[in-house]
């Protein structure tokens, strides 16, 4: 059984439908405007040796402003040296008109999760308009390339220092020869003054004068070459200083990005910051220190048969902590001079040793705070052969395990 709508109900229904259509149309118009569907566009191309993670639909930005998207990824016809993968870009005409002959594009990461973006540098108007519609692809700068360049530069600097040392030796030898020549000249002048024999006759000889003049010219040439070599060394050292500065800035940026990721809510619980765990200026600290050899069998994380008293002493002290906010950190260190361990194996060994102590404490229920579900925070940390970030005011064994109890003040 059907029931017809009244005029009022039909009018209301019509208004609702019109509002929904208008809202949908507005939303589609906004999306189309953002994607540049209704704007005039121009197609440009750019080539890359390896455009990782780029696919049709990847955003294209000019000076950081959304300007279009990638419409096609074309593999090269052959794999000859220098072959490039061509990206076809569709850019809004108002941006394409401001791309110049020296315009370039690079693949960058955008956002926290590293979504890829094709970033275009439009170039400078002085170079004239872009011809042929093809941009110059710029290889993205990576940490591996920076490390390789640092190694290459270090090798070049080593050779340069060797050459400079050799040059310095030649200069030193030249100075010694000059001193010897000066002494000989003084003796010659003395002989001339005191004698009218052979020496005086030689000084009046024109051939001897010309020979001495040639020797002086050769000496000046040698000095010029020495000055040029010293200038080259100074220039290379200045270039090296600039490169090291750039490298430090790059590494600082990488570290800032890594620290930012480590502080993200979903990630920071999996990242162990030894300095933050062991250095707490706003907390009162209590420490129990043990020689690792008294707790575990040599080179293992297996407790000794006679170490039960030590483990129980740690559990007993943890049970007596009056403040529920007190956190327990168990950290183990390995002797850097231990010939039976490498850096990697020492890190794993100390982590397992600290884990064994934390598991023992939890098995004894030390982490439980009464009948509630609240638990005392306990952290296991292995430092391997690395030194402690905290200043050690008291001597400790080279291989040791520390139980630290931090209470907020």
Average pLDDT over residues 133-146: 75
Confidence of residue 2 (pLDDT cuts 50, 70, 90): low
Whole-number pLDDT of residue 170? 78
Confidence of residue 15 (pLDDT cuts 50, 70, 90): confident
**Domain ranges across the chain:** 41-140, 145-262, 272-408
Whole-number pLDDT of residue 284? 94
Euclidean distance between CA atoms 85 and 1, whole angstroms: 66
Whole-number pLDDT of residue 52? 84
pLDDT digits (tens, 9 = 90+) for 60-88: 999 989 999 999 999 998 888 888 999 99
Q: How many CA atoms lie within 13 A of 322 on its CB side?
A: 0
Confidence of residue 199 (pLDDT cuts 50, 70, 90): low
pLDDT digits (tens, 9 = 90+) for 106-126: 999 877 677 889 999 999 999
Euclidean distance between CA atoms 99 and 120, whole angstroms: 9
User: Is a pLDDT exceeding 80 seen at residue 46?
Assistant: yes
The fraction of the chain above a pLDDT of 70, given in percent, is: 74
Count the neighbouring beta carbons within 10 Å of the beta carbon of residue 328: 23
pLDDT digits (tens, 9 = 90+) for 200-228: 555 556 666 677 677 777 768 876 776 77
Whole-number pLDDT of residue 96? 87
Average pLDDT over residues 309-326: 92
Residue 335's alpha-carbon distances to 173, 215, 269, 329, in angstroms, are: 49, 65, 28, 20
Phi, psi (rounded to 5 degrees) for 369: -110, 85
Task: Convert 386-401 to b/e letters by CB count within 10 Å (16 or more is b).
Answer: eebebeeeeeeeebbb
Higher pLDDT, 39 or 397: 397
User: Is a pLDDT exceeding 60 seen at residue 404?
Assistant: yes
Residue 403's alpha-carbon distances to 286, 311, 391, 399, in angstroms, are: 8, 11, 16, 14
User: Cβ contacts of residue 2 below 8 Å, gap of 6+?
Assistant: none
Query: Which residues partner with 107 through β-bridges?
Result: 118
Whole-number pLDDT of residue 192? 56
Euclidean distance between CA atoms 322 and 325, whole angstroms: 9
Q: Does residue 54 contact residue 73 with C-beta atoms inside 8 Å?
A: yes
Average pLDDT over residues 321-325: 90
Confidence of residue 243 (pLDDT cuts 50, 70, 90): low
Whole-number pLDDT of residue 165? 75
Q: Please report, in angstroms and rounded to a whole number, the separation of the first and last CA atoms in the chain.
A: 77
pLDDT digits (tens, 9 = 90+) for 367-382: 888 777 788 999 999 9
Q: Which CATH fold would you assign to the domain 272-408?
A: 60s Ribosomal Protein L30; Chain: A; (3.30.1330)
Q: Does residue 390 contact residue 338 with C-beta atoms inside 8 Å?
A: no
Average pLDDT over residues 318-333: 93
For the chain, the average pLDDT equals 82
Confidence of residue 145 (pLDDT cuts 50, 70, 90): low
User: Is a pLDDT exceeding 70 seen at residue 150?
Assistant: no
Count the neighbouring beta carbons within 10 Å of the beta carbon of residue 45: 16
Whole-number pLDDT of residue 271? 47
Confidence of residue 169 (pLDDT cuts 50, 70, 90): confident
pLDDT-wise least confident of 21-25, 205-209, 212-216, 282-286: 205-209
Residue 189's alpha-carbon distances to 198, 203, 206, 398, in angstroms, are: 13, 10, 18, 72
Average pLDDT over residues 185-200: 63
Average pLDDT over residues 183-206: 63
SS (H, E, C) 176-234: HHHHHHHHHHHHHHHHHHHCCCHHHHHHCCHHHHHHHHHHHHHHHHHHHHHHHHHHHHH
């Amino acid at each position: 059984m059907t029931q017809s709508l009244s005029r009022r109900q039909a009018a209301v229904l019509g208004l609702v439908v019109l509002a929904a259509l208008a809202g949908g149309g507005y939303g589609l118009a906004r999306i189309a405007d953002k994607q540049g569907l209704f704007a005039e566009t121009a197609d440009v191309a750019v080539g890359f040796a390896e455009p990782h993670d780029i696919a049709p639909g990847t955003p294209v930005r000019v000076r950081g402003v959304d300007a279009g998207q990638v419409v096609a990824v074309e593999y090269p016809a052959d794999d000859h040296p220098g072959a490039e993968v061509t990206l076809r870009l569709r850019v809004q005409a108002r941006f394409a008109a401001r791309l110049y002959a020296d315009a370039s594009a690079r693949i960058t990461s955008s956002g926290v999760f590293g979504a890829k973006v094709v970033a275009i540098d439009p170039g400078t108007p002085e170079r004239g308009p872009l011809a042929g519609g093809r941009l110059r692809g710029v290889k993205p700068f990576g940490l591996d390339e920076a490390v390789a360049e640092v190694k290459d530069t270090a090798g070049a600097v080593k050779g340069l220092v060797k050459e400079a040392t050799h040059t310095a030796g030649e200069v030193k030898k030249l100075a010694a020869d000059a001193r010897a020549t000066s002494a000989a000249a003084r003796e010659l002048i003395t002989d001339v003054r005191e004698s009218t024999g052979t020496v005086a006759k030689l000084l009046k000889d024109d051939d001897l004068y010309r020979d001495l003049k040639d020797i002086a010219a050769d000496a000046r040439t040698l000095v010029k070459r020495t000055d040029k070599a010293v200038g080259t060394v100074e220039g290379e050292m200045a270039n090296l200083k600039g490169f090291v500065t750039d490298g430090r800035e790059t590494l600082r940026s990488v570290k800032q990005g890594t620290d930012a990721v480590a502080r993200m809510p979903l990630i920071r619980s999996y990242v162990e910051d030894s300095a933050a765990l062991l250095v707490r200026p706003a907390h009162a600290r209590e420490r129990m220190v043990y020689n690792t050899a008294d707790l575990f069998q040599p080179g293992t994380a297996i407790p000794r048969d006679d170490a039960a008293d030590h483990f129980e002493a740690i559990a007993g002290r943890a049970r007596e902590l009056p403040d529920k906010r007190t956190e327990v950190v168990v950290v183990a260190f390995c002797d850097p001079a231990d010939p039976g361990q490498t850096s990697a194996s020492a890190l794993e060994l100390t982590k397992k040793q600290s884990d064994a102590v934390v598991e023992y404490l939890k098995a004894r229920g030390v982490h439980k705070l009464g009948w509630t579900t609240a638990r005392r925070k306990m952290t296991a940390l292995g430092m391997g052969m690395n030194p402690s970030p905290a200043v050690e005011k008291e001597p400790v064994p080279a291989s040791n395990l520390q139980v630290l109890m931090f209470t907020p003040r």
